Amino acid sequence: MNIIVCIKWTPDTSEADLAIDSTGADIKKDNLDYDINDWDRFAIEEAVQIKEREGGKVTVVTVAPEDSEEMLRESLARGADEAFQIWDDSMEGSDGYAVAAILAKFIKDKPHDVILTGTLADDDGGGQVGGMLAAMLDIPSSTLVSKIEFKDATVKFNRELEGGLGESLEMNIPALLAVATGLNEPRFVSIRAVRKVAALEIPVLGLDDLGLEESSVGSAGSRVAIEQAYLPPEGEGAEILKGSPEEVAVRLVEILKEKGGIAA
């Protein structure tokens, strides 16, 4: 079983004071910490569990600059067999389509029974790369996958739907599955595992290695351009209701009438 996991290097904005950069089309990222996209941790764990059950090989790949090497080493420490970094300065600004095209060139000639990705990315929540990558490779795909099993030349899986519903599907392999969080429990990465992979070589592939032109990557090769980014307006804050329960209830009814929540 040959499993390829596509992962993304994303900025951690959970506790950061965000500001728009000078271009007006992105946030300032100079002081942000970067890490592996949280959804992708579940994809890596699932790949390793499949390898442990079925045998095979797990390959991890990312389209990200040099600083992402630590993320790839973490993937190796989690049980991946090899990792590849794809980057060229001209790839800066690639949208989902351009990233999918880059990954497709890398994966096309590599043996693959299943490709795993996270369904969404923590930074933009686009959810585009997996589906477009599958289309470029001419293989079936699905998103929000919550359980995976293999039988002969097919993969059976559960998929999350809205409203707490789900569905069971089956498709031929090779296939691409974009996984949901909660699919598994990503394993703890020990210091020993990190040290074991510290000296492993991580190849860095550029445009020439993949046979790509500058015009097919970065903003030149993208289909979507962000014209403006902005922070949502701040609200006025909550009103604290004080007084006896009866007084608070009367004031609450008044507010609901003012806001149109109940008929006057």
**pLDDT tens-digit series, residues 165-194:** 999 999 999 999 999 998 999 999 999 999
Distance CA 37, CA 113 (A): 23
Mean predicted confidence (pLDDT) in 84-92: 95
Q: Facing residues of 150 across strands? A: 155
Q: Map tokens 């004080």 to a residue.
A: 242
Q: By CB neighbour count within 10 A (0-12 exposed, 13-18 middle, 19+ buried), where does 56 fall?
A: middle
pTM, full prediction: 0.84
**pLDDT tens-digit series, residues 212-241:** 999 999 999 999 888 898 888 877 777 889
Q: What is the pLDDT of residue 180?
A: 94
Distance CA 159, CA 207 (A): 36
Instruction: Dump the DSSP string for the chain.
Output: -EEEEEE-EEE--TT----B-TTSSSB--TT--EEE-HHHHHHHHHHHHHHHHH--EEEEEEE--GGGHHHHHHHHHTT-SEEEEE--GGGTT--HHHHHHHHHHHHTTS--SEEEEESS-TTT----HHHHHHHHHT--EEEEEEEEEEETTEEEEEEE-GGG-EEEEEEESSEEEEEPTTSS-PPP--HHHHHHHTT----EE-HHHHT--GGGSTTTT-S-------PPPP---PPPP-S-HHHHHHHHHHHHHHTTSS--
Distance CA 95, CA 101 (A): 10
> Average pLDDT of the chain?
92
Question: Is the predicted pLDDT of residue 50 greater than 90, yes or no?
Answer: yes
Class of the domain covering 2-216: alpha beta
CA distances from 114 to 56, 124, 192, 227, 243 (A): 11, 25, 29, 36, 62
Q: Facing residues of 142 across strands? A: 177
Q: By CB neighbour count within 10 A (0-12 exposed, 13-18 middle, 19+ buried), where does 161 fall?
A: exposed
Q: What is the pLDDT of residue 91?
A: 95
